[in-house]
């Protein structure tokens, strides 16, 4: 089932998400729905807060950018309770977008070498060194689990310049190609 993507301005995107346990109700269905939602909206990653749930679940399918970034080729991963350790101190600047911020793309500085520990949809443990653009996608998605978005990393000048566009998203003054849920109206 395709789910609406919650947009910037919605409070669910700003909460810290809860760890997931194996008794989580209908977890496999939720993960399948998250993949469907990500593919419908043509994203390469989606975190549970973006479909309105503050739970530590991320789906990634980086294969659409596999031609530009070899480390992304055929990389599909379901991250439950992921933990990131930064392994590099040399940040790289690249453009990022986010399904919760339609129409925007901004330069974001991040390191591109991390150690990632997670469990998959079967609660099997994984521990892997991840680099390049894939490391960026992972950090972007894991930020969502902490209530953070990529615009929190951009320069104050850029933030000022896109203020109007952010307000348009938060106030439902935009149109979007995929189903979305806008922030509740302020009284």
Report, as residue numbers or ranges, the catalytic residues: 141
User: Quick one: which segment of 14-22, 27-35, 98-106, 155-163 binds Ni ion (CB under 5 A)?
Assistant: 98-106
User: Quick one: which segment of 82-90, 96-104, 118-126, 156-164 binds Ni ion (CB under 5 A)?
Assistant: 96-104
3/98 with CB nearer Ni ion: 98
Q: Note whether 80 binds Ni ion by CB under 5 A.
A: no
Instruction: Report strand pairing: 125-131 vs 92-96.
Output: unpaired
21/103 with CB nearer Ni ion: 103
User: Quick one: which segment of 25-33, 90-98, 166-174, 178-186 binds Ni ion (CB under 5 A)?
Assistant: 90-98
| CB proximity list for 15: less than 8 A, separation 6 or greater | 49, 54, 147
| Helix ranges restricted to H, 47-178 | 132-145, 156-161, 163-170
Using CB under 5 A as the binding criterion, the count of chain residues that bind Ni ion stands at 1
Q: Note whether 134 binds Ni ion by CB under 5 A.
A: no
Tokens of 101: 């911020």
CB of 100 within 8 A of CB of 181?
Answer: no
Closest approach of Cβ 51 to Ni ion, in Å?
12
84/98 with CB nearer Ni ion: 98
Residues 15-34 that bind Ni ion (CB under 5 A): none
User: Quick one: which segment of 1-9, 72-80, 95-103, 111-119 binds Ni ion (CB under 5 A)?
Assistant: 95-103
Q: Note whether 98 binds Ni ion by CB under 5 A.
A: yes
Residues 75 and 25: their CA atoms lie apart, in Å, by: 27
Kindly report the CA angle at 140 between 86 and 136, in degrees rounded to 5? 60
Query: Which of 137, 138, 136, 108 is CA-nearest to residue 126?
Result: 138
Closest approach of Cβ 50 to Ni ion, in Å?
6
Tokens of 33: 């729905």
Write b or e for each residue in 127-143: b if 16 or more Cβ atoms lie within 10 A of its Cβ, otherwise e: eeebeebbbbbbbbbbb
45/90 with CB nearer Ni ion: 45
79/98 with CB nearer Ni ion: 98
Binding site for Ni ion (CB under 5 A): 98
């Amino acid at each position: 089932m395709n789910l609406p993507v919650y947009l910037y301005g919605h409070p669910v995107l700003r909460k810290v998400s809860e760890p997931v346990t194996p008794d989580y109700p209908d977890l496999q269905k939720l993960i399948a729905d998250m993949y469907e939602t990500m593919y419908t909206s043509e994203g390469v990653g989606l975190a549970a807060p973006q479909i309105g749930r503050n739970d530590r679940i991320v789906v990634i399918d980086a294969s659409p950018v596999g031609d530009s970034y070899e480390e992304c080729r055929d990389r599909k991963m379901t991250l439950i309770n992921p933990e990131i350790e930064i392994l590099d101190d040399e940040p790289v600047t690249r453009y990022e977008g986010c399904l919760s911020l339609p129409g925007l793309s901004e330069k974001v500085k991040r390191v591109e070498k991390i150690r990632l520990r997670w469990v998959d949809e079967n609660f099997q443990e994984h521990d892997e060194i991840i680099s390049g653009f894939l490391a960026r996608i992972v950090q972007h998605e894991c930020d969502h689990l902490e209530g953070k978005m990529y615009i929190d990393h951009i320069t104050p000048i850029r933030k000022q310049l896109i203020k109007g566009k952010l307000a348009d998203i938060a106030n439902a003054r935009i149109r979007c190609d995929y189903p979305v849920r806008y922030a509740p109206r302020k009284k």
